[in-house]
Amino acid sequence: MRILERYITRSVVVIFAVTLLTFCFLYVLIDITSQLDEFIDRKVPLGIIAEYYIAYFPIILSQPLSSVACLIAVLFTFSGLNTHNEIIAMRSSGLNFWQITKPTVMFGLIVSVLVFLVNERLVPRATEITNAIRDENMVLEVDRIKRKKEKIKNLTFYGLKNRLYFIDTFDTELNELHGINIIEHDEQQNIREKTVALKGVWTGIAWKFYQCQVTLYNAEDIGNPLKIKVYREKLMDIKETPEDFLKQRLNVSSMNIRQLGGYIEKFSKSGAAKALNNMRVDLHQKIAYPFGNFVIVLIGLPFAMMIRSRKGGAFVSIGVALVLGFLYYVANAVALAFGKSGLLPPALSAWSAPLLFTLVALVIIETDFSN
C-alpha cells in the first residue's frame, strides 16, 4: 500500500471508529434514559443492564449507524484534504478520481462484508439473549397485559407434527385466529394435509375452527387431492395453545439467511402467498442491506471531493451525510413497502435503492470527474 493510500485509510478508519463509538454511546444513553423509569420500577441490577447492552451491541452495529459513520468518515477525510489543497495536488500529479478514492471504496466494501457477517453470525443470537434478559428482568406487568391484548398480523411459524401455520390475524386478547392456513408434511416433507379456515377460537382446551376445509393429499400425486372435507365447525387436534403461538411466531430479525431460506422452502407449497412474499422480501433485504454501507460511501465520495469550504467544513460534511443517509434509507423503506404490497418483485424491492444510488453516484462521478 502506498503512503498516500495509508494516509487516507488511516484517517477514514480513525474517524469511522470514533464516530461509530460515539453513535453507540448516544444510542445506549438515549435508550437507558427512555427506560429509566422501567429499570427503577423493576429494580433491575446494574449488572443485568450492562449484560443487556453488551449483548445488544451487535444489534446496534446492524443499524444504519454504521452507514452514516462510514459516510461521515469519508466526508470529513476528503473535506480536510480539500481544505489543505491536497486534492488539487493529487489531481495535478496525474491521479484520477478512482486512484484517489480507492482506499475509501475498499473500506466501504470491507465494512459491508463485516456488517453482513455480524447480521448472519451475531445478530440472531444477540436478539435471543436480549429478548430473554428483557422478558425476565425488564418487562413490567402492565406491559405484559398490554402485549396480551395486541393483534398480531401475518403470524407464521413451524409447529408440532410437521405443521406450518399461516395466520392472517391473531387476536391475543380474545384468543381468536382469522384467515387460517395450515400445511402438514410427512417425514419426507411432502404435503399430507392442508387446512383452511375462516376463523379459529380457543375454547380453553382445544381450538375450534369455523368454515373449515381439510384437504388430504397423496404424496405421489399432490396435484390430485385424495379427499376434501368441509366443516361448518370442527374441533382441531392442535396441541399448540395461544401462548405457544406467541412464543413460536416467526421473528425474521432472529434468523439468518440460511434459516429464513429454509422456512421459505418449507412454506413454498402452502398457498399463503402474502406471507411467502413478505418472507422473500425480508430474505433479499438481508442480503442487500449490508451493502448499503458501500453504496452510501460511493454516493458520498463525489460530494466529499466537492466540499472546499475552509470554514465550517465539518458541519457541511455532517449535513451532507445526514441528508444522503436520510434519502437512501427513505428510498429503501419505500421500495420494501412496495415489495411487501406486491407492487415490486421481492429481489427488485430489496435491491432497487442500492442500484439506484449506485447508478446516480457513477453518473455524477463520470460527469464531474471524468477528466
- The burial of 126, by beta-carbon neighbours within 10 Å (0-12 exposed, 13-18 middle, 19 or more buried), is given as buried
Residue 166 to residue 168: CA distance in whole angstroms: 7
Q: What is the secondary structure of 174-237 as a DSSP string?
A: TTEEEEEEEEEE-TTS-EEEEEEEEEEEE-SSSEEEEEEEEEE-BTTBTTS-SEEEEEEEEEE-
243-265 per-position pLDDT tens digit:
877 766 656 666 788 878 877 77
- For residue 221, the cross-strand partners are 218
Residue 72 has what pLDDT?
Answer: 86
**pLDDT in the model for residue 147:** 56
| pLDDT given for residue 345 in this prediction | 92
The reported pLDDT for the residue numbered 308 is 58
> Cα separation of 117 and 32, whole Å?
27
Cβ proximity of 171 and 196 under 8 Å:
no
pLDDT for the residue numbered 47: 87
The pLDDT, as a whole number, for residue 128 is 81
User: Sheet containing 151-159: which strands, arranged edge to edge?
Assistant: 151-159, 163-171, 176-185, 191-202, 207-216, 227-236
Grid coordinates belonging to 315: 458541519
Q: What is the model's pLDDT at position 222?
A: 61
**What is the pLDDT at residue 64?**
82
Q: Looking at residue 213, what is its pLDDT?
A: 92
Which regions of the chain are under pLDDT 50?
142
How high is the pLDDT of residue 165? 86
Number of Cβ atoms within 10 Å of the Cβ of 224: 8
